[in-house]
A = this chain, B = another copy of it.
Amino acid sequence: MPDIIWSGHDGAAADDAPRTLIEAACQRLRQDIVAGHYAPGEKLRVEHLKDRYEVGAGTLREALARLAAETLVVAQGQRGFSVASLSLADFEDLTRTRINLECEALRLSILHGDDAWEGQIMASFHRLGRAQDKLDEQPSLDTVREWEERNRAFHRSLLTACPSAWTLHFLGILYQQSERYRRYTLQNRPIPRNIHHEHEAIMQATIARDADRALQLIARHIALTLDAVRSAPPDTFVRRPAGRRTALDRSVAG
């Protein structure tokens, strides 16, 4: 139980209580970045942002450093911070990695889940269905927000029984990135109706403990997002500031 590792790790958690100005600025910045208020690759100048978010320079600086942890912003040596770039190739990789991890997480969740877990899934699915109805009746920013929130809750409920904190941690990061892509490329696009049936099938297979089927369904479900983004206007991904170096520069255990 490596709870501790994530406890203060404002990166993945801490939606609840912004105890410090840093956390508050971190949250607001994260929301604005994920929501697409800043263009991909855009430079984030501390001098400008400290006015916008009404904090000191050092404070904002540390908030940006924390966001760099989530790979939402990048920090270059002596050249300040900028919003992480978006590219189709990255999203393809992101989606494949997410499918890999989410299948593993769902498999473990089905293996370890108890009755309460099943109940939570049904409940969150029901709430998502209601949000879907409201969205169909009256599409608005509020109803969309609510649908997104409950969609996230539904997907999360599927995995709550997964005992692998590391897998969930990485999935959290990938979720966030995925959401950023989705919002950026599919701005204000209506949510197709058939997603509801996908969710229903996933839920049924999961509760029936049919791991093979559930994994197949969730994989396809996630892959559909990739197709949707692929069909975005071709000029969507353009920004590409100079980048270099590759990961995996450290340590290995034998």
Is A213 interfacial (CB-CB < 8 Å)? no
A27 to nearest B CB, angstroms?
10
Knowing A179-B252, A246-B168, the reply to whether A74 touches B5 (Cβ < 8 A) is: yes
Interface-lining segment among A47-55, A58-66, A115-123, A203-211:
A58-66
Is A143 interfacial (CB-CB < 8 Å)? no
A19 to nearest B CB, angstroms?
4
Contacts of A166 in B (CB 8 A): 93-94, 97, 174
A–B Cβ pairs within 8 angstroms, 21 of them: A1-B89, A2-B89, A2-B90, A8-B77, A9-B68, A11-B68, A13-B245, A15-B250, A17-B77, A34-B251, A66-B75, A69-B69, A94-B166, A97-B166, A100-B104, A151-B254, A155-B252, A168-B246, A178-B252, A222-B253, A225-B254
Q: How many chain copies does the complex carry? A: 2
Is A129 interfacial (CB-CB < 8 Å)? no
Is A20 interfacial (CB-CB < 8 Å)? yes
Does A85 contact B225, Cβ atoms closer than 8 Å?
no
Does B100 contact A6, Cβ atoms closer than 8 Å?
no
Contact of A165 among B90, B181, B252 (CB under 8 A): B90
Does A23 contact B77, Cβ atoms closer than 8 Å?
yes
A20 to nearest B CB, angstroms?
6
Does A250 contact B152, Cβ atoms closer than 8 Å?
yes
The interface size bin for chain A is 35 or more
Does B20 contact A77, Cβ atoms closer than 8 Å?
yes
A132 to nearest B CB, angstroms?
11
Proximity bits, A221-254, B CB within 8 Å = 1, else 0: 1100100000000000000110111111111111
A57 to nearest B CB, angstroms?
9
Is A43 interfacial (CB-CB < 8 Å)? no
Does A13 contact B77, Cβ atoms closer than 8 Å?
no
Chain B: CB-nearest residue to A40: B4
Is A41 interfacial (CB-CB < 8 Å)? yes
Bound Cα distance A243, B2 (Å): 9
Knowing A19-B78, A244-B3, the reply to whether A68 touches B12 (Cβ < 8 A) is: no
